[in-house]
Amino acid sequence: MSASGTAAAGHVEQTLRQVTPGRYDAYEALLRALATPTSGQVWMLLWHGQAGSPDAQYGHMDVDGHGYAPCVTSAQELSASGWNRSYEVVDALDVARVLYPDHYGLWLNPHAPGGGVGIPWLDLRRIATGLDRQPAGPLRVSEPAIEIPHFYALLTQNAHRTPAVRSLRRAWVQPAFGAPYLAIGLDVYDTSPTAVDSVRAMMRQSVGAVPDGLPVSTVAMSDEFDPVAMWLRASARPFYDREAHAAPAVQNPPGGYGYPPAGGGY
């Protein structure tokens, strides 16, 4: 292994050693290490084929009903694992882009004492699309308890004047790491640049009614991979519906929505 490869493995493994249950700050540091090109390399275990060949296929693990592709974090860990098939060394960023659309996670060093560390597919999506663009999970999502009727009234009024908007939903999101915030789910008819600009203008015209210090974010209801959008589609009745058709509410899902049970991922 080259000196740069050794340094890359050391960076990932240094952060990996700090990850323990409940240490979401350490887990976020691990995600950042994996998201860094070159220094975030992993050794993917190939069940079929050779590295770079068309028939190459990653291995598979099933943990609590969730699929993961196993990997190791260095040549030393590869040797310790006893893996006797082929492998390929690749940036975890590239692996994340391949795995998350199929709802596959990444499992680091499954041979290690304690079973290694699993990265759920939702966090691979964060790696692939930008860690700072998505909240840190597992998420606790619920109906908002804070009373801000003026904001909702103004937002509803502005939405009615914005033809691109079909409906609006709301949720209170508490990330595992970071400040909680109010999420507004946007269901739109049109995603053309003009329509998107009109929806952004609607939000700008409305957020002035939000109390100081209350963070507000938006989420596209059409995003099939977003955990907040997943919760909103399943559990939130629209507070504005242009077509006056609201789906019946269902019971809120338990725990961190969209993530495996505690112990299955961290």
127 and 226: one domain? no
SS3 84: coil
Do 165 and 183 lie in one domain? The reply is yes
Residues 48 and 71 in one domain: yes
Q: What is the pLDDT of residue 239?
A: 95
Strand 66-72, strand 41-48: pairing: antiparallel
Task: Please check whether residues 38 and 128 belong to one and the same domain.
Answer: yes
Q: Is 232 found in the same domain as 163?
A: yes
Q: Are residues 127 and 147 in the same domain?
A: no
| Domain end residue (candidates: 112, 132, 152) | 132
Rg of the chain over all Cα atoms, to the nearest angstrom: 21
Count other Cβ atoms within 10 Å, centred on residue 95.
25
Q: Which residues are CB-contacts of 6 (< 8 A; sequence separation ≥ 6)?
A: 74
H or E segment to which residue 235 belongs:
helix 227-235
Contact 59, 88 (CB under 8 A): no
What is the reported pLDDT for 266?
35
Q: Final residue of a domain: which of 66, 98, 132?
A: 132
Please tell me the total count of domains within the chain. Answer: 2
Predicted local confidence at residue 245, as pLDDT? 46
- Tens-digit pLDDT string for the chain (266 aa): 444 444 445 788 999 999 988 888 899 999 999 999 888 999 999 988 777 778 888 989 999 899 999 999 999 999 999 998 899 999 999 999 999 999 999 999 999 998 999 999 999 999 999 998 888 878 899 999 999 999 999 999 999 999 999 999 999 999 988 889 999 999 999 999 999 999 999 999 999 999 999 999 999 999 999 999 999 999 999 999 998 744 455 555 555 555 565 444 33
Beta strands at 57-58 and 87-91: parallel, antiparallel or unpaired: unpaired
Domain with residue 151: its CATH number is 3.30.460
Q: Count Cα neighbours of 195 within 13 Å in the Cβ-side half-sphere.
A: 11
User: Does residue 263 lie within any of the structural domains?
Assistant: no
Domain contains 246? no
Residue 249 counted as domain residue: no
Q: Do 97 and 211 share a structural domain? A: no
The tokens of 256 are what? 């961190």
In a domain, 157, yes or no: yes
111 and 148 in a single domain? The answer is: no
Looking at residue 257, what is its pLDDT? 56
- Is 66 within a domain? yes
Asked whether residue 156 falls in the same domain as residue 118, the answer is no
Same domain, 229 and 169: yes
Domain carrying residue 215: 140-241
C-alpha–C-alpha distance, residues 45 and 94, integer Å: 15
Q: Does residue 42 form part of some domain?
A: yes
116, 151: one domain:
no
